[in-house]
Structure 1
Amino acid sequence: MEQSDNSVDVTETGIIRYGNSQVEKFQSDFLRQHVEYDEENGVCHIVIWELGAFSAPSAGVDYDRLISSAEAQAIYVRLDSASRSKVQISRSQTIGAPLYVGVADGYLIATWKFEDIAGSIKNPVPHRDSCKIYIENGPSVIRDQIIDGIKMLWPGEAVSLVDGELVFQLCSSNNIVVPSTIYNGARVTDALQRRIADVMRPALEVAKRPLIELSGGMDSSCVAVAAKSVRSDLYSYALMHKGAVGRQQMERRMELVGLLQVQDHLYPSDQPNQFQALEWDEAGLTPFDDNHRMPCVLAVDEHPAGPIDLILTGIGGDELSSGLNIGRDPWELPGVHCISTLMAATARADMFMRRGIWTLNPLAHEHVVNFCRALPDKLRDNRMINLLMLARAGLSDGFLFPRYVEGYGHGMQREAALIDFDELFSVSIIADYRVYNFSHLLKAAREASNGGLSYELILRLFWLAKLECILKKYVR
């Protein structure tokens, strides 16, 4: 973005042009935009926001305060023809879609699509430090991304283009809510359900075909119960496992689907498996991704109720059932969000926005998170608040206390046991660029052929394979 004159134009499709700058919002019924031009000062104000954040801004509004107090995803772009910092972009605190930024030929580029930034770099090369972090830890809250020149603007932050350089303003440190007590006779589960429902209400009232990711876990089940209190005609889908775990999952979900009366769709969790899915072109687009992306999106593509326009997820449950959970490793940027929630929401947004679908994570909303942080620890430990909410909704004890953990780890172990990792990494762009010496991982994989690969080793190998896949797409 860069300005050469003071003209402002909004096209019929909603594209905003100010001089040589152009801003285009994601095409969704769940987003709104407002444009205001301050002719006296030569400043163009652009706000793009998610339903439920606030009403349309009025003239003279304090835009920075508007963003800091937003209760949903929102982005404020300030284009100033007279200022040294001609372009500034600010994000609200609410987690959600990724926003990659970079500079090309003096222009600031900001987009949720990783490939748009990568394609603007003339000679892309791996960012060694970021790649090492990625292999050892997976996606992380860091500034520099795996390709040199691509950076991330995280929720609650701002970035400016000053003399051709990006200048970031870190996330402001909000006050953290800590556990308290509850009054005699209090029904916190009812209050929690109302808060979750209120977060979803604006979007559910607009959605044509809202879909719930309904795995049968505690988090997505709570979202589904709250959503049903807002709207009756809901759709759902789930990835189904094999074997004893899958049979348990099927029986538990039959009870849940029967209680909620949602129109359900099932899809195998191993079609494709995680490493096999890296052969799909879509799986090599972005480093912020889910290791079971392809089964999820294929299930949504095949849903008989499609096209879907809104997906409700259970992401954010870690905040409901644990301590503050806001610690960061030394290489990560500071912030107030739970890391697992932030990473999962970023991945989910990319997966579904590419299909024109907006994603909503009600359990990650500030109102819900702060409500749960204020609860006594005994109501949060071992997902007690979830259990109480679902029990009062009418689900059985057998649903609440399943025999097996219905995770994806056992599936990844089965697949990994059949892979020749020496052969998989025989041609490596990571090795060619001297990014990371992964010989110890290959040695560990060979030795584990006798007793089985650990989940930790499988994830390291997966992130290594994922990184190879992405770098081969962009690095020439």
Structure 2
Amino acid sequence: MRPGVDPLGALDELLTDVIRQAPTATGCVGVELSGGADSGNVALAVKAAHYPEVYSFGLLVGGSTGRQQSERRRAFVEQCGFRDTTTPAMQHPPFCPGGVRALRKPHDPAGAFYQEAFDVVREQAAARRCEVMFTGSGGDEVNAHHSRTQAELPTPKPVPWLGNRAVRALAEVNEHLAPIPVLPVPTLMAFGMHNPGFLRAGIWPVSPLAHPRIVRFMEQLPHEHKRGKALFRERIRRAGLPEWVAAPAEPENFLAVLEKGLRFSGLPVLDDLLRESILVDLGYVDGKALAKARRNADFAPLVPDLLCDVLALEVGLRSLM
């Protein structure tokens, strides 16, 4: 970085310019606003872009974490002047009655565990005729400290119910990899799970933090500006928002939502899966090991979150048959 350059000013200019390029005929746009640093920075840039009509949408995670999240969101909404809509995520956990998986509607088997909750958000955005939805996707990745020349996939957690066919496939997971793309791989994977739902609702999803110009800027930025999202948090402070908004002690997460969905709706689905399973029949899952995990889940303080993956994949495959 050249001496005398203000990286905050550069980020501000870049973000606002990227957001102004979003295609919209009416200027009616939405913002996914979680209350965190990533979506908060996008929200501030959307405000600076001066769209005629801006709606914000957020999933509230519940509990003490959810109360703090709600207060942070309120601060951003008041600062930006958005028309806000919130959805309690605990009312729409994975596998909940009335959701896409419970109804067995055709859907992506690799869909995220919070798909049911975000389906509600997408319906709300469509009802308000939002043409574009700005998201904070990519913020974690552009602030991460990584090497493009010595990149390796992380070692996955052991999954005791993997079948022989899955074990053989895992042994080759690092073979014949595609070239590293411009955008971080986790960001692209998140797009694959998250964006098709917006497109089906007639909404164009835009993630400014994953724009190639932003990615390149963050790659060149000295790491002290990225550690702990330092530059992102400083931008929130400079906008006049308090420290508890810029650097919350307890960021939001969906773990409680995931646990509720697995405990009350997912385990009955697992009981059905154990009687007849595509994944077991094909050799990707060991039925006996999965049955043991099911018995253990009844007595565990938390249902293993890895069970969500196998359940979502099984239910998604069945929905396509």
In 2, the alpha carbon distance for the partners of 1:261 and 1:198 equals 20
Aligned to 1:257: 77
Report Cα offsets for 1:40-81 as digits up to 9, x if no partner.
xxxxxxxxxxxxxxxxxxxxxxxxxxxxxxxxxxxxxxxxxx
Question: Pairwise mapping of residues 150-169 of structure 1 onto structure 2 (< 5 A)?
Answer: none
In 1, the alpha carbon distance for the partners of 2:25 and 2:126 equals 20
Offset of residue 353 of structure 1: 0.6
Gaps of 5+ in 1: 1-181
Does residue 226 of the first structure (1) align with residue 45 of the second (2)?
Answer: yes
Offset of residue 421 of structure 1: 6.2
Change beyond 3 A, Cα 1:386–1:234: same
In 1, the alpha carbon distance for the partners of 2:147 and 2:128 equals 37
Amino acid at match of 1:197: T
Aligned to 1:309: 131
Q: Secondary structure at the match of 2:186?
A: helix
In 1, the alpha carbon distance for the partners of 2:25 and 2:152 equals 37
Aligned to 1:446: 295
Q: Secondary structure at the match of 1:378?
A: helix
In 2, the alpha carbon distance for the partners of 1:413 and 1:263 equals 31
Amino acid at match of 2:102: E
- Among 221, 241, 244, the alignment partner of 1:398 is 244
Mean Cα deviation higher: 420-429 or 333-342 = 420-429
In 1, the alpha carbon distance for the partners of 2:60 and 2:236 equals 21
Greater fraction of residues in helix: 2
Q: Is the 8 A contact 2:234 2:246 kept in 1?
A: no
Does residue 463 of the first structure (1) align with residue 309 of the second (2)?
Answer: yes
Aligned to 1:279: 102
In 2, the alpha carbon distance for the partners of 1:313 and 1:436 equals 35
Aligned to 2:278: 429
- Among 177, 190, 199, the alignment partner of 1:353 is 199
Offset of residue 308 of structure 1: 1.8
Offset of residue 253 of structure 1: 1.0
Question: Pairwise mapping of residues 156-195 of structure 1 onto structure 2 (< 5 A)?
Answer: 182-195=1-14
Offset of residue 438 of structure 1: 4.6
Q: Secondary structure at the match of 2:285?
A: coil
Aligned to 1:159: none
Segments ≥4 residues shifted beyond 4 Å: none
In 2, the alpha carbon distance for the partners of 1:350 and 1:208 equals 22
In 1, the alpha carbon distance for the partners of 2:152 and 2:308 equals 23
- Among 315, 318, 321, the alignment partner of 1:472 is 318
Offset of residue 396 of structure 1: 0.5
Offset of residue 237 of structure 1: 0.4
Amino acid at match of 2:143: S
Offset of residue 413 of structure 1: 2.0
Q: Secondary structure at the match of 1:413?
A: helix
Change beyond 3 A, Cα 1:333–1:393: same
Aligned to 1:72: none
Offset of residue 439 of structure 1: 3.4
Q: Is the 8 A contact 1:274 1:291 kept in 2?
A: yes
Change beyond 3 A, Cα 1:270–1:333: farther
Q: Is the 8 A contact 2:126 2:201 kept in 1?
A: no
Does residue 297 of the first structure (1) align with residue 153 of the second (2)?
Answer: no
In 2, the alpha carbon distance for the partners of 1:438 and 1:463 equals 15
In 2, the alpha carbon distance for the partners of 1:231 and 1:268 equals 29
Change beyond 3 A, Cα 1:467–1:254: same
Gaps of 5+ in 2: 154-173
Structure with bigger RCO (C-alpha 8 Å, 6+ apart): 2
Q: Is the 8 A contact 1:240 1:250 kept in 2?
A: yes
Offset of residue 236 of structure 1: 0.7
Does residue 320 of the first structure (1) align with residue 165 of the second (2)?
Answer: no
Does residue 414 of the first structure (1) align with residue 247 of the second (2)?
Answer: no
Offset of residue 381 of structure 1: 0.9
In 2, the alpha carbon distance for the partners of 1:392 and 1:320 equals 21
Offset of residue 339 of structure 1: 2.1
Change beyond 3 A, Cα 1:339–1:328: farther
Offset of residue 188 of structure 1: 0.6
Larger Rg: 1
Amino acid at match of 1:384: A
Report Cα offsets for 1:299-322 as digits up to 9, x if no partner.
231359612211111111123211
Give the aligned CA root-mean-square deviation in angstroms. 2.3
Amino acid at match of 2:134: L
Amino acid at match of 2:271: E
Aligned to 1:334: 179
In 2, the alpha carbon distance for the partners of 1:198 and 1:358 equals 18
TM-score between the two structures when normalised by the length of structure 1? 0.57
Aligned to 1:209: 28
Offset of residue 392 of structure 1: 1.0
Q: Is the 8 A contact 1:417 1:452 kept in 2?
A: no
Offset of residue 325 of structure 1: 6.2
Q: Secondary structure at the match of 1:236?
A: strand
Count how many residue pairs are aligned between Structure 1 and Structure 2: 290
